[in-house]
Amino acid sequence: MQKYLYITLLLALAMACGSGTKKSNVEGPRILTVTIEPQRYFLDQIVGDMFTINTLVPPGTSPETYEPAPSVMVDMAKSNVYFMVGDLGFENVWSKRLAKNNPNVTIINCSEGIVRMEGHDHDHDHGHDLHHTHLHSHSGIDPHVWSSPYAVKVFTRNMLNEIVKIDPDNAGTYEANYEILLAKIEKTDSLIRDLLKNVSSKSFIIYHPALGYFARDYGLNQISIEFEGKSPSPSQIKEIVDVARKEKINTIFIERSFDTKNTTVIAHEIGAQVFEIDPLRYEWDVELLRIATILAREVK
Ligand SMILES: [Zn+2]
CATH of the domain at 277: 3.40.50.1980
pLDDT at 18: 42
Do 48 and 167 lie in a common domain? yes
Do 45 and 156 lie in a common domain? yes
Q: Of 189, 209, 233, which marks where a domain is finished? A: 189
Asked if the structure places residue 7 within a domain, the reply is: no
**How many angstroms is it from 182 CA to the middle of ligand 1?**
24
Residue type, 250: N
Q: Who wins on pLDDT, 74 or 36? A: 36
**How many angstroms is it from 65 CA to the middle of ligand 1?**
11
Q: Of 152, 173, 189, which marks where a domain is finished? A: 189
pLDDT at 79: 94
Do 70 and 176 lie in a common domain? yes
**How many angstroms is it from 258 CA to the middle of ligand 1?**
11
Q: Of 189, 220, 237, which marks where a domain is finished? A: 189
Do 31 and 148 lie in a common domain? yes
Asked if the structure places residue 179 within a domain, the reply is: yes
Split at pLDDT 50, 70, 90, the class of 120 is low
Domain count, the chain: 2
**How many angstroms is it from 17 CA to the middle of ligand 1?**
46
Do 34 and 178 lie in a common domain? yes
**How many angstroms is it from 64 CA to the middle of ligand 1?**
8
Do 98 and 223 lie in a common domain? no
Do 84 and 174 lie in a common domain? yes
Can you give the chain as a three-state secondary structure string? Answer: CHHHHHHHHHHHHHHHHHHHHCCCCCCCCCEEEECCHHHHHHHHHHHCCCCEEEECCCCCCCHHHCCCCHHHHHHHHCCCEEEECCCCHHHHHHHHHHHHHCCCCEEEECCCCCCCCECHHHCCCCCCCHHHCCCCCCCCECCCHHHCHHHHHHHHHHHHHHHHHHCHHHHHHHHHHHHHHHHHHHHHHHHHHHHCCCCCCCEEEECCCCCHHHHHHCCCEEEECCECCECCCHHHHHHHHHHHHHCCCCEEEEECCCCCHHHHHHHHHHCCEEEEECCCCCCHHHHHHHHHHHHCCCCC
pLDDT digit string (tens) for 88-100? 877 888 888 889 9
**How many angstroms is it from 297 CA to the middle of ligand 1?**
25
Do 111 and 179 lie in a common domain? yes
**How many angstroms is it from 136 CA to the middle of ligand 1?**
6
**How many angstroms is it from 22 CA to the middle of ligand 1?**
37
Split at pLDDT 50, 70, 90, the class of 87 is confident
Asked if the structure places residue 272 within a domain, the reply is: yes
- Residue among 55, 57, 78 nearest 66 (CA): 57
Cα separation, 64 vs 82, whole angstroms: 21
Q: Which domain holds residue 284?
A: 192-295
Q: Who wins on pLDDT, 6 or 39? A: 39
pLDDT at 24: 56
* Mean pLDDT value across the chain: 84
Do 136 and 233 lie in a common domain? no
**How many angstroms is it from 238 CA to the middle of ligand 1?**
23
Cα separation, 52 vs 225, whole angstroms: 38
Of 91-100, 116-125, 213-222, the least confident? 116-125
Which range of 51-60, 218-227, 255-264 scores highest in mean pLDDT? It is: 218-227
